Amino acid sequence: MGSTQTFEHLLKPLDVGDLRLKNRVVMASLTRNRDNVPRDNLHVPYYAERAGTGLIISEAALICPQGVEWTFMPGIYAQEHVEGWKKVTDAVHAKGGLIFCQLHHVGRVAHPGTRVQRESGQPVPGPSAIAARGGKFRNVPGAPGYTVPTPIEDPQQIIDLYSNASRLAKEAGFDGVELHNGNGYLPMQFLESHSNKRDDEWGGSTEKRMRFSLACLAKMNEHFPYHRIGIKIAPCGGYNDMGELDENGIPSEEAAKATYVPFCTKLNTLGLAYVQVMRWWASYDLMIEGRPRGIEWNPIDCLRPILKDTLLFGNSAFMPEEADEWIRDDRMDAVVIGRPLLYNPDYTEKLQNGSAVTLYQEQPGDEHWWYKWRNNDKRDGYLDWKNRTIVPTTLKTGDRLSLIHD
Ligand SMILES: Cc1cc2nc3c(=O)[nH]c(=O)nc-3n(C[C@H](O)[C@H](O)[C@H](O)COP(=O)(O)O)c2cc1C
């Protein structure tokens, strides 16, 4: 069945700094947990197939070796990563696409028992000695949760890594870079008040807590102009025990505004390519101690007037019809699409040819998109780390796998 909708707003080009996006569908960062160095037979075709989107944001790429929940995240800290990513960016460009690299440091949600963290010789770092609640490390014996991090003595040393990663991203042919400032990772840990209890120049007031992110952006700016740098924020929290709290420790919209309004006021002055704002979505709103950890509010509408000189990309659980309307009504400039692009590499082509309805059609046995993503994760094979081989998929729709999440 075809759709009669034309998606004229979604399919309109968008100028982002000196780049022209051919449409306003941006591919979200999607960790695939496939290998630390991008592979010719996995990453290259995967990204190239999705080059019909206006812009691709790469899966999160670690800026230094860290022992993370997803054992096979790619990196952007060594020359071998440049070689691997270069093939990806070349393939995307050959198909007329654009691609930014998402720069990633997980901070306190690494684990000291993981192989990579042990080999790095570094403790798990965080702004303060406060562990996130929850967490699961299937790759560590005993399935432990998150650990209490060692407070970072000199944040500047980590901030400097963002310069190195940006330099390598440039060398690898990326069109720009994005600071991953969401989902409970290091920059967000510095930004939010419950995870940052420092009393030096990196903590305390909102102004001091936002310094880390701003300093990272300034380092990225050593290799890319600000109009080639984006940032992703997640003011609704949830995942990784995030979200601002009121004085009683309850997740609070007012507390979130107290951090994110001044932060975005500052971001608005930088001339960034875009600010990507995640709205509330159920899958990231985990239950902690019997209550949802996230904050169910609408940060996109709240922050739009504050980000008045910056493009705003809306993210999380957007259907194409809704995204088209929000762009038409000037509530955002582009939509960032994640899960549907996993199983619809031809997402924008489907919008163009009117088969948009299939973008969210459930298949028999799929109760939830989450399962659908899991199944699709292995559609084209996955890396068997021990044997260093690619295992082709043999899965049926509805099989529940947990290569990455469960
Ligand atoms: C499998 C999977 C992997 C993800 N990996 C990342 C990531 O590496 N970086 C990131 O910023 N967000 C990541 N996210 C969040 C997505 O970028 C996106 O914000 C989220 O899926 C909501 O968009 P959607 O409803 O269109 O899927 C991931 C989500 C999923 C489902």
Distances (CA, A) of 58 to 18, 72, 98, 113: 20, 15, 10, 27
Instruction: From the CA of 317, give the closest atom in ligand 1.
Output: 25
Does 146 participate in catalysis according to the annotation? no
Q: Which of 31, 233, 319, 359 to mutate to test the pocket of ligand 1 (most atoms within 8 A of CB)?
A: 31
Note the pLDDT tens digit of each residue in 343-369: 788 899 989 988 776 665 444 333 333
Q: Which of 46, 162, 185, 239 is catalytic?
A: 185
Mention every residue, 6+ apart, whose C-beta is less than 8 A from residue 199.
Answer: none
As a three-state string, the secondary structure of 265-289 is HHHCCCCCCEEEEECCCHHHCCEEC
More confident site: 399 or 184: 184
Q: Which of 339, 372, 378, 402 to mutate to test the pocket of ligand 1 (most atoms within 8 A of CB)?
A: 339
| φ and ψ of 100, to 5 deg | -100, 155
**Domains of the chain listed by start with CATH number:** 14-361 (3.20.20.70)
What's the half-sphere exposure (Cβ side, CA atoms, 13 Å) at 121? 0
- The pair of structure tokens assigned to 385 is 């780390």
d(CA 86, CA 82) in angstroms, rounded, equals 6
391-395 mean pLDDT:
41
The percentage of the chain sitting over the pLDDT mark of 90, rounded to a whole number, equals 71
Q: Which residues line ligand 1 (CB under 6 A)?
A: 28-31, 59-60, 102, 180, 182-183, 232, 278, 281, 315-317, 337-339, 373
The predicted pLDDT at position 247 comes to: 97
Note the pLDDT tens digit of each residue in 290-345: 888 999 999 999 999 999 999 999 999 888 889 999 999 999 999 999 877 877 88
The predicted pLDDT at position 391 comes to: 44
Check residue 110 and report its DSSP letter. Answer: S
The predicted pLDDT at position 288 comes to: 85
Note the pLDDT tens digit of each residue in 126-141: 999 999 998 878 778 8
Cα(201) to centroid(ligand 1), Å:
32
Nearest CA to ligand 1 atom 3: 30
Note the pLDDT tens digit of each residue in 250-305: 999 999 999 999 999 999 999 999 999 999 887 778 888 888 899 999 999 999 99
Q: If pLDDT is split at 50, 70 and 90, which confidence band does 4 have?
A: low
Instruction: From the CA of 234, give the closest atom in ligand 1.
Output: 19
